[in-house]
Structure 1
């Protein structure tokens, strides 16, 4: 691998980077944490601008970075705070649409242009007037970025159509699984969690993600009606919080569905270790954290064939059309009754996960982009 430099264009001090993160979904926040650790280890100075809640959850300072609280708002106060942090940066790297828009505003009007790298982790979706606003933000960000790194081919293509001058496919690694604590028995996690969740002696199906419309949980509840006929009845556990919690809980109770909403969890890896199947019923996903975690954990996955999921998982999952509750229900019933197919998916998942970039490869790609944008070009 070609070595990459960690020095500024003048070669006198370490490269100074600012990573800008909004509220951050699990994928982008974990990516920034992993990236910060890798960059710091290679001698790069990293400052993460993110809400204080993100620092509490992902401990950027524990990775060796500086953290500056910048709220999610794009109001003048937040933009001014970000502008002050970016004043001494050699390069700014923003993650997600709204964080990237704030970075564009913060860097606007500067006499000396600071390179702006944008990693586009997923598309934001909205309806009505807000949909128009999102399209405006996309165009402003794509045209304001020096380089756009899309986490899927679809996002790279959209970035180019929206006006990006330079859009490339990003290497984005999922941080490695949690290692057992000293004295912890990894084989004891599964029965303990199954007992806690009420899944002892019955199949456990796990879904993870915010309780929002695009996650497809209404389709999941429709499918769960069919699973009540099975013996034993599978238990579906949904880990996440969001605006649809009350409506989903009401349906679960009114219809007597075998589904539990367990809220936001920090032990998703353990939940997957206890699961018989992982479920991903989303209308849209880019580089799904759940899909990656499931394949790494050798848990058979049933997912929709939406967004970047087919590109990510290949033939290592059962894919069904979004919104088709019958197809989702049938795929789950078929897998629960076919241990050979489940084992086949575990083996394919292991092979597919081995094709994904590692954290080191992700950091190396990002550093090569940084060097390209900050190192002086030789005279021809």
Structure 2
């Protein structure tokens, strides 16, 4: 089978997910082409995983001239594929626009056309003109894709309401995290935590991640009589909101440390009392999957695909509810027994999560193929 992946600019989970699918499909003897910006090949090395790569600019924001060129290039490059699989709304819409609509094309053209599968990894959270444009792109994908895979139930409901013919749940597993290289006490000493509880957030410093809520929670109040009960909040990640977040931390003297991008997340997880996720929306965040796999407690907002991912492990709170989130943190850090119980629940859930083989088997089914490599 010949599979053509189409994706736009990405530096995170989407690119790693495509790399995992490329490896699994190539290992099973399929021919794979990846179409996307040069930056994704430089970051994820799809050719190193056995795929061919073709450079096409798929930018973050709409650009009529560049988008028209991308549509024509994607149509040409994917012409010989047995299935075209686009990842993300922008890439999905451009791939869809390169096809004749099944409602307008002849039955012969439709029969000869490779099926288009689109995986939506993120929800639309922007408003204004950008929100309007992306809403139109959603309609293009819903109307022209043969199958839409979604990372959360709310995305599925939205695409079905827009007329998507076949909507299914996507399987987006995280790779097993490597073991920690340093002991928890060494990491805690580096952070200056002493014996204080450490609440870790792994997130890009961007609007979607709801980090203002985290700072509201960090403001307390916390016990004045026992500093060791007052938690230290640490955030691993980088992004456009670093300066305003740091300015607020400094002005309010909040117990929050912005660590920037880190290559020692397993070390941080091992040292953390719990992981806190404050996002306004998430699909199946790899950071929470990794947290479950290493058995750390989770407190997270009840949005998108997070409830399904946690599967009953961890504590869920409404997005933006500062009091509920602060109360959840206070109850956890004040009860060592609760930390231990939640850690055990996380580890059990982590052992249940799908792996790369599960994802490839599911995608073969979504392509309408059976994995004949299995006994």
User: TM range, normalised to the smaller chain?
Assistant: 0.7 to 0.9
* Per-residue deviation, 1:189: 4.3
Give 1:66's aligned residue: 52
* Per-residue deviation, 1:200: 4.2
Give 1:133's aligned residue: 133
* Per-residue deviation, 1:25: 6.0
Task: Specify whether residues 271 and 84 from structure 1 end up closer, same or farther in structure 2 by C-alpha distance, changes over 3 A only.
Answer: farther
- Please state if 1:341 is matched with 2:333: no
Q: Which of 32-41 and 20-29 deviates more?
A: 20-29
2: CA distance between counterparts of 1:263 and 1:320?
26
- Please state if 1:211 is matched with 2:205: yes
Provide, for residues 213-269 of structure 1, a one-character-per-residue CA deviation record: whole Å limited to 9, x for no partner: 221100100110116546134322212222221111110110111112222233333
Please say if residues 227 and 333 of structure 1, whose CA atoms lie closer than 8 Å, have aligned partners that are also in contact: no
Match of 1:248 among 232, 245, 251: 245
1: CA distance between counterparts of 2:173 and 2:91?
20
Match of 1:27 among 13, 37, 40: 13
Match of 1:316 among 313, 317, 326: 313
* Per-residue deviation, 1:187: 6.1
* Per-residue deviation, 1:108: 4.4
* Per-residue deviation, 1:126: 1.1
2: CA distance between counterparts of 1:198 and 1:55?
38
Gaps of 5+ in 1: 1-14, 181-185, 374-380
Give 2:62's aligned residue: none
Provide, for residues 151-181 of structure 1, a one-character-per-residue CA deviation record: whole Å limited to 9, x for no partner: 2222222221111111112222222222x5x
Please say if residues 30 and 175 of structure 1, whose CA atoms lie closer than 8 Å, have aligned partners that are also in contact: no
| 3-state secondary structure, aligned to 1:226 | coil
- Please state if 1:153 is matched with 2:153: yes
Give 2:68's aligned residue: 76
Give 1:293's aligned residue: 290
Provide, for residues 297-326 of structure 1, a one-character-per-residue CA deviation record: whole Å limited to 9, x for no partner: 111111111222112213211111211112
- Please state if 1:120 is matched with 2:120: yes
Provide, for residues 319-353 of structure 1, a one-character-per-residue CA deviation record: whole Å limited to 9, x for no partner: 11211112212211211121111111112112222
Q: Which of 51-60 and 303-312 deviates more?
A: 51-60
* Per-residue deviation, 1:372: 4.5
Please say if residues 196 and 231 of structure 2, whose CA atoms lie closer than 8 Å, have aligned partners that are also in contact: yes
1: CA distance between counterparts of 2:39 and 2:232?
32
Please say if residues 190 and 273 of structure 1, whose CA atoms lie closer than 8 Å, have aligned partners that are also in contact: yes
Please say if residues 97 and 140 of structure 2, whose CA atoms lie closer than 8 Å, have aligned partners that are also in contact: no
| 3-state secondary structure, aligned to 2:227 | coil
2: CA distance between counterparts of 1:70 and 1:206?
37
| 3-state secondary structure, aligned to 2:340 | helix
Give 1:106's aligned residue: 98
* Per-residue deviation, 1:142: 1.3
2: CA distance between counterparts of 1:172 and 1:34?
10
Please say if residues 301 and 317 of structure 2, whose CA atoms lie closer than 8 Å, have aligned partners that are also in contact: yes
Give 2:275's aligned residue: 278
| 3-state secondary structure, aligned to 2:219 | helix
Q: Which of 198-207 and 28-37 deviates more?
A: 198-207
| 3-state secondary structure, aligned to 1:168 | strand
Q: Which of 72-81 and 151-160 deviates more?
A: 72-81
* Per-residue deviation, 1:364: 0.6
Provide, for residues 46-67 of structure 1, a one-character-per-residue CA deviation record: whole Å limited to 9, x for no partner: 1222333323333322322223
TM-score, normalised with respect to structure 1? 0.86
Please say if residues 272 and 294 of structure 1, whose CA atoms lie closer than 8 Å, have aligned partners that are also in contact: yes
Please say if residues 31 and 175 of structure 1, whose CA atoms lie closer than 8 Å, have aligned partners that are also in contact: no
Give 1:376's aligned residue: none
**Superposition pairs of residues 223-262 of structure 1, within 5 angstroms:** 223-226=217-220, 229=223, 231-232=227-228, 233-262=230-259
Gaps of 5+ in 2: 60-65, 371-375
